[in-house]
């Protein structure tokens, strides 16, 4: 039975003049119960119910009083959740290789690759004055006049040339790294560049998602790498490799495993036939960020025993100086600090500045 407008008006007047005790516990069907509902649609539905319009179908967008309360609680919880600070740490591998879909920046954007630095002081405990190789054409017959203290610098960059090789998976990157050892303090020999290494490479990189011993497996890649010093005999050195990249990370840490296979060359054309027994068959790179500082350790080995067992370790430390300028320290011990020194064992220490770290 429908309630007439006059009855509704009388009910409102009764509510205004009701005793305080009655107002504290209104009947659910009393129209006064609707006044506390904030939502216009829910309040209108309550009025319809109180005035006898219960048979009118309620639109899905007009929830009941209880539904409106639940909706309010849900919206409030969503608001609180959205205001919580993100707890997921920044992915170092993602920042470097654009792994996640939301990190993709497209192709042909020039980016840094390996550290870019200048070391005005790069000192050796045992400078290689007479480089040699099992190939007689690649052995220096007279020792060179070299200083133990020189300078060193490196530039390195990369760019993505193909994004989404297999649909949404797989990106192709090309990179280039060049490092030089400069006898800048050797005025008697006209300050020559003792050694410059050139390293172009191409890599197919995939985003991965798995856990192993508490580490996130985030990257899998395979690439072609050429490294040489661009010189004539007897100082020419070069090799070509197929390199796999397997990257793991956790907050503030990255570990990259790089096993490789050297592409064989004809023995009479090979400048350094035993290079794998000195420069190794794989390495592991460990990078740690802490308190705006960055530490890295590279470990490399021939993966052979006996007389063929050789390796090297490189430690670097960078720290803030002013703005984007950072201090940089490098220490190296072992074989193969450069291509010309691939089979030469020495300790090196360098101090300088860097404009770009690993991450």
Q: Where are the domains of the chain?
A: 5-82, 92-356
CATH 3.40.50.300 fits 92-356, yes or no: no
Q: How many CA atoms lie within 13 A of 202 on its CB side?
A: 5
In this structure, what token pair is assigned to residue 355? 């404009």
275 vs 60, residue with greater confidence: 275
226 catalytic residue (yes or no): yes
66 vs 203, residue with greater confidence: 203
Q: Whole-model pTM? A: 0.74
Give 15's pLDDT tier (boundaries 50, 70, 90): very low
What number is the average pLDDT over the span 151-176? 97
- Annotated catalytic residue, options 156, 180, 226, 288: 226
- Annotated catalytic residue, options 39, 156, 180, 228: 228
Residue-wise pLDDT tens digits, 45-94: 666 766 666 554 444 444 444 444 444 434 444 443 444 444 456 799 99
First vs last C-alpha separation in the chain: 75
11 vs 119, residue with greater confidence: 119
Q: What is the mean pLDDT of the chain?
A: 84
What residues does 215 pair with on adjacent strands? 212
Among 123, 193, 126, CA closest to 334: 126
In this structure, what token pair is assigned to residue 231? 């010189």
Residue 213 has pLDDT above 90, yes or no: yes
What gap in Å lies between CA 358 and CA 356, rounded to an integer? Answer: 7
Residue-wise pLDDT tens digits, 87-103: 456 799 999 999 999 99
Residue-wise pLDDT tens digits, 101-123: 999 999 999 999 999 999 999 99
Q: Other CB atoms closer than 10 Å to residue 85's CB: what's the count?
A: 4
Spatial contact of 233 and 261, defined as CB atoms under 8 Å apart: no
228 catalytic residue (yes or no): yes
Among 207, 189, 5, 241, CA closest to 91: 207
What number is the average pLDDT over the span 221-242? 96
Spatial contact of 337 and 312, defined as CB atoms under 8 Å apart: yes
């Amino acid at each position: 039975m429908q309630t007439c407008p006059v009855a509704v008006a009388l009910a409102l007047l009764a509510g205004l003049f009701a005793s305080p005790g009655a107002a504290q516990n209104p009947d659910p069907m009393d129209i006064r119960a609707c006044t506390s509902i904030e939502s216009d649609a829910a309040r209108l539905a309550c009025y319809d119910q109180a005035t006898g319009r219960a048979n009118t179908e309620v639109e899905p967008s007009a929830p009941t009083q209880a539904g409106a309360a639940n909706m309010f609680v849900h919206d409030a919880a969503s608001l609180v959740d959205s205001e919580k600070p993100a707890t997921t740490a920044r992915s170092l591998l993602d920042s470097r290789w654009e792994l996640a879909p939301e990190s993709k920046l497209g192709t042909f954007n020039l980016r840094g690759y390996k550290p870019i630095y200048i070391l005005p002081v790069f000192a050796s405990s045992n400078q290689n004055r007479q480089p040699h190789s099992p190939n007689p054409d690649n052995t220096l017959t007279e020792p060179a006049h070299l200083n133990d203290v020189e300078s060193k610098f490196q530039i390195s960059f990369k760019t993505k040339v193909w994004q989404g090789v297999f649909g949404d998976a797989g990106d192709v990157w090309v990179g280039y790294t060049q490092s030089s050892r400069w006898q800048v303090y050797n005025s008697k020999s006209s300050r020559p560049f003792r050694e410059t290494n050139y390293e172009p490479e191409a890599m197919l990189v995939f985003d991965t998602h798995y856990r192993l011993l508490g580490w996130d497996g985030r990257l899998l890649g395979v690439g072609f790498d050429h490294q040489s010093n661009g010189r004539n005999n007897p100082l020419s050195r070069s090799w070509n490799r197929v390199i796999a990249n397997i990257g793991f990370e956790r907050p503030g840490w990255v570990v990259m495993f790089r096993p490789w296979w050297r592409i064989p060359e004809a023995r009479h054309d090979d400048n350094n036939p035993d290079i794998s027994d000195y420069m190794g068959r794989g390495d592991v790179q460990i990078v740690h960020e802490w308190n705006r500082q960055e530490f890295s350790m590279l470990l490399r080995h021939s993966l052979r025993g006996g007389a063929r067992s050789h390796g090297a370790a490189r430690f670097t430390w960078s720290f803030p100086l002013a703005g984007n300028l950072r201090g940089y320290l490098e220490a190296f011990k072992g074989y193969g600090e450069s291509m010309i020194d691939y089979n030469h064992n020495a300790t090196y220490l360098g101090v300088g500045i860097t404009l770009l770290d690993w991450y």
